[in-house]
Structure 1
Amino acid sequence: MRAFLAAVAVMVCVVACGLRPASSFVPPVEPGGIRPVPGLEGQRVRVTSKEFTEQLVLGKIAVLALTAAGADVEDRTNVQGSVNARASLIRGGTDLMWEYTGTGWITYLGQQKPVQGAEAQYEAVRDLDLRENGIVWLPPAPLNNSYAIGVTRASAEKWGLSKISDIPEVPVAQRTFCVDHETFGRDDGFLGMLKGYGLTYGEEVPRANVRRVSVGVLYNSVASGQCTLGMMTTTDGRVKALDLVLLEDDRHFFPQYNAAVTMRRQLADAHPEIAKIFAPISAKLTDDVMRDLNAQVDVDGGMPALVARDWLRSEGFVR
């Protein structure tokens, strides 16, 4: 207990001083619903993740779950960028990470068109990634961290907005968008969405109506009325915290980005029990659950490792 309190004290000091917390901090856990697995005892498993909040929380969930099962886990979460995290898995520097089906299909496997339907998209990326790269995809969670168009509740009520195809109901002068820099030009992002919904950039959506901003300020920019509409993601905790409304993607333009545990084939073949550990965890991770977990970090200032531990405890997976 003293060691744990000391670790927390160090983390609080680091945060208070404005420095980046150490990504390797993991609180102790005891087995709960996750029982020790004899075959995993002492087995080294290197877990990685990307650097944004949701990935950090998911990465810590994986670290803690495998630790409770008896594995010797190396926490290598908090890697900058999707490509770098994925490269470490492909090259054998790490063994396991949470990934998104749409990212795997489009970004890593170079496919131009998403597959319609969550199950079909999962099966497509599962089969192709195993065949080409030896990466095993476990069945995905319900959470779908896809793109969305968000507005304030007041804007939704004022113009009767419930789906993306309702955007023309907003007068052109007020048809303003906040879009982050990366998403703006992507085929599965802002310009692609406009094309998919028959809205011409420069006409139905004047160029001057679009502000390119960082993700860090985008949600507040919409909430404060600087933009009427914003390109958001469905599981971001700020959606709930700021009482924003996500419009239905009624033309099913945006790809499915269901989160799933991915791992090297060597690990999956040697330890099929890992799939059994993560199956009940994945089943619990819905959009609403993930929004709450993300908000505990981004809105309430919680530490990803403690947020992950507390959720696993609340669900009875660990003690």
Structure 2
Amino acid sequence: MKKLSIITIMIISAAMLLSSCAPETSTEVLNKDDPIIVGSFVDTEGGILGNMILLTLEKNGYAVTDKVQFGTPDVHRNALIAGELQVGIDYTGNGQFYSEGIAEEVWNDAEEGYEAIASYDKENNGLIWLKPAKANNTEAIAMTKSFADENGIEDMYDFADYVNSGGVIKFITSQLFAERYSGLLGMEEAYGFKLKPEQVIMLPHGNTAETISALANGTDDVNAALVYGTDGSLAELELVVIEDPLSIPPVYEPSAIIRSDVLDKYPEIGPIIEDVFETLDLETLQLLNKKVIVDGLSPREVAEEHLINEGILE
């Protein structure tokens, strides 16, 4: 048997040492028998956000099982807790329904609400909430852009000044929003105005498609309407959300959620997904939703186009 020289032995030993110290590569990640299961809510925005995560993970070499638009919020959450989904999407404000013992006012603060549900779910359910997008998809009051500009209304303080100075208002809303302190009653108290009964049209439901249509068409002299912050039709109809600096309705910012066992295995996917969510704000999500709802593109097409525009995909 030929003996190895001292130099050869040293080279082999060094190579073995470097191999043992090197970090794991994507070989395990690319194992098709162990993909990352990505889901989302069944709605349009869930489809867009879920596809953004799915496409970004695929681009970075991860095997992915597509369960985007998996189901309703409760079905989606139960699947995450059970491990049927491993990555999903949720909104910080929903934490008030998932947790116990947290003060109600916490959910009116973006940072405190996020920290509260993030801590609760990490401790109790092994779910990790990543940094949310700065796009508050909560209940809000909207007006046509032309009306808001003409009357100098940008936020709820301006709205209150307009009402208190005798400005004409006809607000269409759901009865529930009108009668809640996390809705109109709270806004009136916080900003110092009061709408008269004849200034409010109350619907028995919260279908914002109807309130938005009434606002856009001026039905029954409506010039203010209950909407959700990232409704896709707002941009198409040139409607603007009146800012709510005090966040009277709870803050609902979208966040990716990852099971802790998956994040422990692939810690690098946290920053990868957070980079995607940093590209999103209220107006961006409105436009992306509009491309599905109004323009007829699929959520995957819209997600891919956005990621290409942001330089995340080629």
Which band: TM-score by shorter chain?
Answer: 0.7 to 0.9
Are 1:188 and 1:254, in contact at CA under 8 Å, matched by a contact in 2? yes
Q: Please name the residue that 2:30 is paired with.
A: 41
| Aligned AA (1:277) | I
Larger Rg belongs to: 2
Report the 3-state secondary structure (helix = DSSP H, G, I; strand = E; otherwise coil) of the residue aligned with 2:105: coil
Report the 3-state secondary structure (helix = DSSP H, G, I; strand = E; otherwise coil) of the residue aligned with 1:307: helix
Q: 1:162 to 1:55 in 2, by over 3 A?
A: same
Name the Cα RMSD after superposition: 2.7
Q: 1:195 to 1:240 in 2, by over 3 A?
A: same
Structure 2: which 5+ runs fail to align? 1-24
Are 1:185 and 1:192, in contact at CA under 8 Å, matched by a contact in 2? no
Are 1:179 and 1:190, in contact at CA under 8 Å, matched by a contact in 2? no
Q: What is the count of residue pairs matched by the alignment? A: 280
TM-score w.r.t. the length of structure 1 is 0.77
Report the 3-state secondary structure (helix = DSSP H, G, I; strand = E; otherwise coil) of the residue aligned with 1:114: helix
Q: Greater CA deviation, 227-236 or 206-215?
A: 206-215
Question: How far off its partner does 1:85 sit?
Answer: 1.3
CA distance in 1, matches of 2:180, 2:70: 22
Q: Please name the residue that 1:16 is paired with.
A: none
Alignment of 1:15-34 (within 5 A): none
Alignment of 1:170-189 (within 5 A): 170=163, 174-180=168-174, 183=177, 188-189=182-183
Q: Please name the residue that 1:231 is paired with.
A: 226
Q: Please name the residue that 2:265 is paired with.
A: 270
CA distance in 2, matches of 1:245, 1:101: 23
CA distance in 2, matches of 1:61, 1:205: 44
Are 1:40 and 1:69, in contact at CA under 8 Å, matched by a contact in 2? no
Question: How far off its partner does 1:296 sit?
Answer: 0.8
| Aligned AA (2:30) | E
Report the 3-state secondary structure (helix = DSSP H, G, I; strand = E; otherwise coil) of the residue aligned with 1:148: strand
Q: Please name the residue that 1:122 is paired with.
A: 114
Are 1:99 and 1:259, in contact at CA under 8 Å, matched by a contact in 2? yes
CA distance in 2, matches of 1:301, 1:288: 19
CA distance in 2, matches of 1:216, 1:46: 32
Q: 1:185 to 1:297 in 2, by over 3 A?
A: farther
Structure 1: which 5+ runs fail to align? 1-35
| Aligned AA (1:64) | L
Q: Please name the residue that 2:99 is paired with.
A: 109
Q: Greater CA deviation, 171-180 or 295-304?
A: 171-180
CA distance in 2, matches of 1:122, 1:257: 9
Question: How far off its partner does 1:174 sit?
Answer: 4.6
Q: Please name the residue that 1:131 is paired with.
A: 123
